[in-house]
Amino acid sequence: MRRFEGYGVLITGAARGIGEATARRLASEGARVLVTDIDAEAAERTAAGIEGAASCYCDVGDRASVEAAVACAVERFGTLDVLVNNAFSCSPDTPLIEDQPDDAWSRDLDISLTGAFRCARAAMPHLAAHGRGAIVNIGSVNGEQDFGNHAYSAAKAGLASLTRTLAGDAAARGVRVNQVTPGTIRTRSWDGRQDSLEILNGVYPLGRVGEPEDIAAAVAFLASHDASWVTGTTLRVDGGLLAVNTGFQRMLADEADQGAQDV
């Protein structure tokens, strides 16, 4: 199935991980993909391994850089039909919130939230041009529940709100805006921490953490004509993490087992 034949696609933070997997998935369905990243060399290497892809430096924290990347996509492909806002920043929390510096807070919000706004603002006229435009934002379960990282979580919660307001604003122009909300995904940020991933496997109702390809598949659906009547929604791709309290269920099961043994 080649749902994106003739489409031009721009993906931010696409040199690795979810962004790279999404670039590969959409290209496999016919899209011409602009792989953008703040690491220009890594973006170039990734694009070189994807048929029909090109690469471009893009710092979503800089308006001129974003506008240059959008212009690059339109120049190369003659169209821009899909924008995937994947770039993010996640600063570690300090032990005490009163020790958290302003710059870490500001950077996470600027890249993860305002960066998506900058990209949408620059891309919108082109997305609206052919009546098939779509924006897919990459959120996080952190935006819905406490998993730490104050600034990152606040930014992702804001991104879910931005998804809804942009959807309302863009609907009359034929542009759909949706969000994918991943749980834990096996990316290079987990390199060297396989033991931690094994523990996390047991937290997820479906018994494993996610792979970048799981998120790419969801993005492909929301960006495609198959989702032509879907806008303003958030699609959780989290292995059931937010729907099922696995730890609580196990505690109840353990208590039930203990009670049976005491009889």
82-85/54-57 β-pairing: unpaired
Separation of CA 225 from chain center: 19
| 3-state SS class at 164 | helix
Q: Which amino acid is at 160?
A: A
Q: Is 204 among the residues known to form the active site?
A: no
Query: Residues 6 or more apart from 235 whose CB is under 8 A from it?
Result: 178, 179, 180, 181, 218, 221, 222
Q: Is 156 among the residues known to form the active site?
A: yes
Long-range contacts (CB closer than 8 Å, 24 or more residues apart) made by 146-151: 148/93, 149/90, 149/91, 149/92, 149/93, 149/108, 150/93, 150/97, 150/100, 150/105, 151/91, 151/100, 151/104, 151/105, 151/107, 151/108, 151/109
Facing residues of 219 across strands? none
Facing residues of 84 across strands? 11, 136
By annotation, the residues acting in catalysis are 152, 156
